[in-house]
């Protein structure tokens, strides 16, 4: 084997090895991003399912802010309770707090929540649209809109973000 043949074989081998490494790196990053999407989507759906189930069953909205909702409700056995959902932008978390018979239980529903907004609406729709009138106070609220964005970095900040966006309108049934 001559020196020229060895150099050509080394060059071709290096090119093939570089191509294989690039495909492997891209595939690993894509699989990590896909895993993040799935995990964020599962957690967002679980939080949305729990929130919509509980909001439908409350008696009334008692306090409203764009990052905090507080409800009053009654269990089927007649026990009164208060339920609140609070978004903490500094912690990027959404916390559910339920107080019943003097006992308070808190649970973090979402982490990595970069944006959250609660909106409240009345029962009556606007003329010729599917939009609802914005409620002026918690006493006139019949529908709550939940909107949030959760995100996390793929491979610890070294690559692009993965995001999950959720939005839903939930009707308070008992009101």
Phi–psi pair at 65, nearest 5 degrees = -150, 160
Q: What is the pTM of this model?
A: 0.78
**What is the per-residue pLDDT across 66-108, written as a single tens digit (0 to 9) for each?**
899 999 999 988 899 999 999 999 999 999 999 998 899 999 9
Confidence at residue 71, expressed as pLDDT on a 0 to 100 scale: 95
Confidence at residue 160, expressed as pLDDT on a 0 to 100 scale: 59
- From 103, 101, 100, 137, select the one nearest 121 (Cα to Cα): 137
**What is the per-residue pLDDT across 122-171, written as a single tens digit (0 to 9) for each?**
877 777 777 888 888 898 899 999 999 988 776 665 555 677 888 899 98
- H-helix or E-strand spanning residue 20: helix 3-57
Classify residue 23 as exposed, middle or buried by CB count within 10 Å of its CB (0-12, 13-18, 19+): exposed
**What is the per-residue pLDDT across 31-40, written as a single tens digit (0 to 9) for each?**
877 888 888 8
**What is the per-residue pLDDT across 24-67, written as a single tens digit (0 to 9) for each?**
988 888 887 788 888 888 999 999 999 999 999 999 999 999 89
């Amino acid at each position: 084997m001559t020196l020229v043949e060895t150099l050509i074989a080394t060059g071709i081998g290096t090119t093939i090895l570089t191509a294989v490494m690039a495909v492997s790196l891209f595939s690993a990053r894509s699989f990590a991003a896909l895993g993040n999407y799935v995990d964020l989507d599962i957690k967002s759906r679980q939080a949305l399912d729990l929130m919509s189930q509980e909001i439908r069953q409350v008696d009334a909205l008692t306090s409203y802010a764009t990052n905090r909702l507080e409800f009053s409700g009654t269990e089927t056995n007649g026990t009164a309770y208060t339920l609140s959902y609070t978004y903490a932008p500094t912690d990027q978390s959404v916390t559910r707090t339920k107080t019943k018979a003097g006992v308070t239980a808190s649970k973090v529903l979402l982490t990595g929540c970069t944006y959250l907004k609660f909106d409240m609406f009345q029962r009556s729709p606007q003329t010729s649209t599917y939009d609802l009138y914005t409620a002026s106070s918690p006493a006139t609220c019949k529908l709550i809109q939940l909107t949030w964005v959760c995100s996390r970095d793929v491979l610890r900040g070294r690559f692009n973000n993965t995001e999950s966006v959720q939005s839903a309108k939930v009707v308070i049934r008992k009101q």
